[in-house]
Amino acid sequence: MAYDMHRFASRAELADSLATTIAGRLADAIAARGAAFIAVSGGSTPALLFAALSRSAIDWKRVTVTLIDERLVPADSPRSNAKLVADRLLQGPAAAARFVPLYHGTDAGDEAAELARAELAPLPWPLDVAVLGMGGDGHTASFFPDAADLADLLAADAGLLALPVEAASAGELRLTLTLGKIVEAGLLALHIEGAEKLGVLERALAGEDLPIRAAFEASPRPVEIFWAQ
């Protein structure tokens, strides 16, 4: 397991630094092949990051944005990660980006996964950037510790692209990108904030069997950890 730890004095500094790093990777991808592809997480953590990233002066019309994971809820639900992206990231210059959601109007897990796969398959894989978050329970993407089939989900064929996830602690049914597709990203960043999450991450890195550990184990390159108190 390899990683680089980037610590910041404030969450605003973290957001600016991570946004600059991501924008640089996207600009490099655009220069190299005319397009860039990023998957972002939802939840409560990324709002500041999204605001900073949305202001980046890159050629956003060449950028495709999708989600690391999603709750199977309508796009106007406050629980929707797509809503967070629409409200906070796809603003200003970044409004020109193409957004590919994971939720397509059904909350039936297998059907939702099939619809998402059809949208995801033609995208320009591998991801240039994947931004993971982590819950206080050690989940990342929608790999929840109490998902009955967690081992199968983590080991799923990367080519499946999207997997349905059911876990009591997750609330709604969810979709997640496969771990294999996430860790293929040219830049795999983990964005976490607060002492509690840092403690959870440290336990995972020390050997505790939490889902976040699987991302580090699967990643072929160092995971870039961005943390602020």
Ligand X SMILES: O=C1O[C@H](COP(=O)(O)O)[C@@H](O)[C@H](O)[C@H]1O
Which residues sit at the interface with ligand X, rule CB under 6 A?
41-45, 68-69, 81, 133-135, 142
| Residue number, 41 or 66, with CB nearest to ligand X | 41
Residue 224's φ and ψ, nearest 5 degrees, are: -95, 105
- Min separation Cβ 4 and ligand X, Å: 19
| Residue number, 186 or 194, with CB nearest to ligand X | 194
Between helix 11-33 and helix 47-54 the angle, nearest 10°, is 50
- Min separation Cβ 183 and ligand X, Å: 15
- Min separation Cβ 65 and ligand X, Å: 14
| Residue number, 101 or 133, with CB nearest to ligand X | 133
- Min separation Cβ 46 and ligand X, Å: 7
- Min separation Cβ 45 and ligand X, Å: 3
| Residue number, 6 or 35, with CB nearest to ligand X | 6
| Residue number, 44 or 122, with CB nearest to ligand X | 44
